[in-house]
Amino acid sequence: MTEKTTATTFADMGLSPAVIRSLEEMGFEEPTPIQSRTIPIILEGRDLIGQAQTGTGKTAAFGIPIVERLDHRSRRIQALVLAPTRELAIQVAEEITRIGRHSNVRVVPIYGGQSYDRQIRALEHGVQVVIGTPGRVIDHIRRGTLHLDQVRTVVLDEADEMLDMGFIEDVEFILQQVPDERQTLLFSATVPEPIARLAQRYLRDPVHVVINPEHLTVPQTEQWYYELREHEKVEGLTRILDIEDAERTIIFCRTKKRVDELTEALQARGYSAEALHGDLNQTQRLRVLKRFREGTSEILVATDVAARGLDIENVTHVVNYDLPQDPESYVHRIGRTGRAGRPGTAITLIHPKEFRQLRLFERVLRVRIVRRSVPTVADVAEKQREALRRRIAEEVERGVLPEFRDVALMLAEEYDSVDVAAAALRLLVDKGREAAPGGEQFGDTGAEPGMVRLFLNLGRMDRVTPADIVRGIAEASGISGSLIGLIDIYDRFTFVEVPQDVAHKVLGAVSRLSIRGKPVNLEPARPREESLVRPRI
């Protein structure tokens, strides 16, 4: 029987709030084709054959309905998933655990190579979902440590691989140990004759869902990956951005919360970054995209769905801050760079546990993603010194103005010429920016033309509002509140723009500035030029 039911969003499936919350935290913004076409059928209790390539989201396709259909009051085994390898068993167990995080689901993987005692203790404590390799599952059945009399759902994952590994007889033995009144789900990339016979014997009027692999064209883009643990990601990312001379970059995160957190972290380190996700209204979205297209902001941090349909030229880099769910998403992401024959770079940051998934992407897409070492602080400093050297060399090639040459000759008579050049470079870095009225040095702080972007050390956690900020600055400095421009409030800090000709007045009033009864530190946002010689980490 062929399937009829489809769902375009997870909300359409009528999932519980606990599961929806878990999926949002996992970054599942919308279902993949195999998920949208199978989950509603599985929730109805039907048997199913799901035919799709590895890496298309099959685990969630059966994991979500398993969690939904559990009797959460019972600690008996209600679902059994058979997987061909220990690596896949562990991966499936981890994903179902994440899906059931807010539903108090107890999941245990059992596989060869791990102590029986540990697995027996876990089973004795009460388990609802077991994921196991056929051989170890049979061992526990024969030992009397695995009781399957309450199982209501059985999943055969990667059935064709189990066939290739000679597990079909073991699978049949296990199926004979579970109740006849059960739901059986078979997922496989292919359905050869032995698998078809197995399905005919053990599945009841199954719905057959076939997902034809999408023809994916990987853009001609350099593709690298860096291995980083979670606590290393922000610092590692900033070094990579600096060493790459990234001009216009889109960074993809798994969730809206991750987008906001990373945007704040980058802005606090002096990067001109903007967030783009589903919580922005259309006006905010258009403003963010306008600033990115015009180069006012250099980095766009986005979720997959928010970035859909973007048509932005000259994106030099795409960064997968979080690994996408499937190969299709990976291709769609990296396709944002390297357009119209221009070179592009795609960078992926992975946790060591994600290495297997990355290799899966390589096999499916038939590409090679090259490993690179994370740049050190010394690497970044050397890169930035080289950029400064090139700027000086270009200036020399353009020809030195006579008045500056005369000054240099006079200084060379009194001081060592190398010391003179080094002092000039220091002035270029520290004081070479045009002075604003009142003697303040601002440079390009990432503000709108004619404005200065200021950093304020209060944010949402201090319960400040734009009105609080406008009132506090206007009262302390004596300027009109109508002069104050864009205000971006984050969890722990805020950026506010004021006209350049009154910025010195606002900063001079910082000792009198109080917002919601709290003294405030106010200073210019870090100019972009500082990145030329100082690592922003």
pLDDT confidence of residue 213? 64
Confidence of residue 32 (pLDDT cuts 50, 70, 90): confident
Residue type, 274: E
Q: Where are the domains of the chain?
A: 11-210, 222-375, 378-432, 451-532
Say which residue, 249 or 426, is predicted with more confidence.
249
- The torsion region of residue 241 among left (phi > 0), alpha (psi -120 to 50) and beta comes to alpha
d(CA 482, CA 510): 19
SS (H, E, C) 156-203: ECCHHHHHHCCCHHHHHHHHCCCCCCCEEEEEECCCCHHHHHHHHHHC
What percent of the chain stands above pLDDT 90?
A: 36
Q: What is the pLDDT of residues 55-71, one digit of tens each?
A: 678 899 999 999 999 99
Please provide the CATH number assigned to the domain covering 11-210. 3.40.50.300
Residue 498 has, within 13 A of its CA and on its CB side, a CA count of 26
Confidence of residue 219 (pLDDT cuts 50, 70, 90): low
Confidence of residue 6 (pLDDT cuts 50, 70, 90): low
pLDDT confidence of residue 339? 63
**For residue 7, is pLDDT > 70?**
no
Average pLDDT over residues 351-369: 86
**For residue 224, is pLDDT > 90?**
yes
pLDDT confidence of residue 340? 57
β-pair partners for 154: 80, 184
Query: What mean pLDDT, rounded, does the chain reach?
Result: 84
pLDDT confidence of residue 440? 46
State the fold for domain 222-375. Answer: Rossmann fold (3.40.50)
pLDDT confidence of residue 441? 57
Please state the pTM of the whole predicted model. Answer: 0.60
Q: What is the pLDDT of residues 439-462, one digit of tens each?
A: 345 667 777 778 888 988 888 888
Q: What is the pLDDT of residues 139-177, one digit of tens each?
A: 999 999 999 999 999 999 999 999 988 999 999 999 999
| Span of 211-225, 263-277, 316-330 with lowest mean pLDDT | 211-225
pLDDT confidence of residue 531? 42
Say which residue, 208 or 446, is predicted with more confidence.
208
**For residue 295, is pLDDT > 90?**
no
C-alpha of 438 from chain center = 43
Fold match flag (11-210 vs 222-375): yes
pLDDT confidence of residue 427? 64
Segment (H or E) for 503: helix 500-508
- Alpha helix segments (H runs only) across 32-190: 33-43, 58-69, 86-99, 116-124, 134-143, 159-164, 168-175
d(CA 262, CA 6): 35
pLDDT confidence of residue 107? 96
Pick the CATH number of 451-532 from 3.30.450.20, 3.40.630.10, 1.10.600.10, 3.30.70.330: 3.30.70.330
pLDDT confidence of residue 216? 58
Say which residue, 448 or 15, is predicted with more confidence.
15
Average pLDDT over residues 36-60: 89
**For residue 96, is pLDDT > 50?**
yes
pLDDT confidence of residue 199? 94
- Alpha helix segments (H runs only) across 351-479: 355-365, 377-398, 402-414, 417-431, 466-477
d(CA 7, CA 21): 18
Find out whether 131 and 81 touch, Cβ atoms under 8 Å.
Answer: yes
**For residue 118, is pLDDT > 80?**
yes
Q: What is the pLDDT of residues 477-524, one digit of tens each?
A: 888 777 888 888 888 888 898 888 888 888 888 878 888 888 788 888
Q: What is the pLDDT of residues 405-440, one digit of tens each?
A: 777 777 777 878 777 777 776 666 554 344 433 434
**For residue 337, is pLDDT > 60?**
yes
Average pLDDT over residues 74-80: 94
Unique residue bearing structure tokens 């899906």: 99
**For residue 1, is pLDDT > 60?**
no
